[in-house]
Amino acid sequence: MRYPRFKTEEELLRAILRLFPYNSYPKVSAIGGRKINPDIDMLLIERTSQYQRTIGYEIKLIKFDKRNRGISWNSFYSGIGQALLYLRNGVNRAFLVLGFHDNILNDELIDEFLDQLQSERELLKRILGNYISIGIYIGYLMTIVWAEHDFHPPDERTKLLSEELLHGKFTFDKRLKGE
């Protein structure tokens, strides 16, 4: 098998956290003392001399659907919806990361899924408004669609959340970070 497989999204999250050892925070559940829904699976804070940016990573496992005898796209669509909500919760960019469940028994199904995703690449980029990236975890993060712009919150509530994220005023799962 060429593609890594995972039993749970948390297993996939652990693998992704290893790619980002600094300034990454798993399972952000509250910002400024206020619960958020959905949780941000992983928050990355990028700081350079030119900018500061927060990127929320939504982690989803693609599974085999026994009824349809093929790969289910449900996690993909659900992930896009959650990534959009991340923008509402103050992140500047969102990144949907897809991994593969261990119930997918052959790589040909994954190849077909990836081919279909690649063929829809331009359409996805136009629909997602340049704020949401999509990538596949294959031992490293392979980007399919790249967000080229930061989302600047249009309202005061979201601006406040964005500032609180940049200033570290959030709650995350320290247990996962420490591993």
178 pLDDT higher than 70: no
Q: Which pLDDT does position 154 carry in this prediction?
A: 87
Q: Which pLDDT does position 57 carry in this prediction?
A: 98
Residue-wise over 12-33: b if at least 16 C-beta within 10 A, else e? bbebbbeeeeeebbbbbeebee
**Could you list the residue range(s) of the whole structural domain that residue 44 is in?**
5-177
Domain tally, the chain: 1
Element (H, E) at 110: helix 107-119
Q: Over the stretch 27-70, which tens digit does the pLDDT of each residue have?
A: 999 999 999 999 999 999 999 888 899 999 999 999 999 888 88
Q: Tell me how far apart the alpha carbons of residues 140 and 156 are, in angstroms, rounded to a whole number.
A: 37
Q: How confident is the model at residue 1 (pLDDT cuts 50, 70, 90)?
A: low
Q: Tell me how far apart the alpha carbons of residues 36 and 94 are, in angstroms, rounded to a whole number.
A: 15
Give the DSSP letter of residue 169: -
Residue 149 has a CB neighbour count (10 Å cut-off) of 10
Q: Which pLDDT does position 179 carry in this prediction?
A: 58
User: Percent of the chain beyond pLDDT 70?
Assistant: 98
Q: Tell me how far apart the alpha carbons of residues 141 and 18 are, in angstroms, rounded to a whole number.
A: 11
Q: Indicate the pTM of the whole model.
A: 0.94
Q: Are 144 and 134 in contact (CB under 8 A)?
A: yes
Q: Over the stretch 124-139, which tens digit does the pLDDT of each residue have?
A: 998 887 899 999 999 9
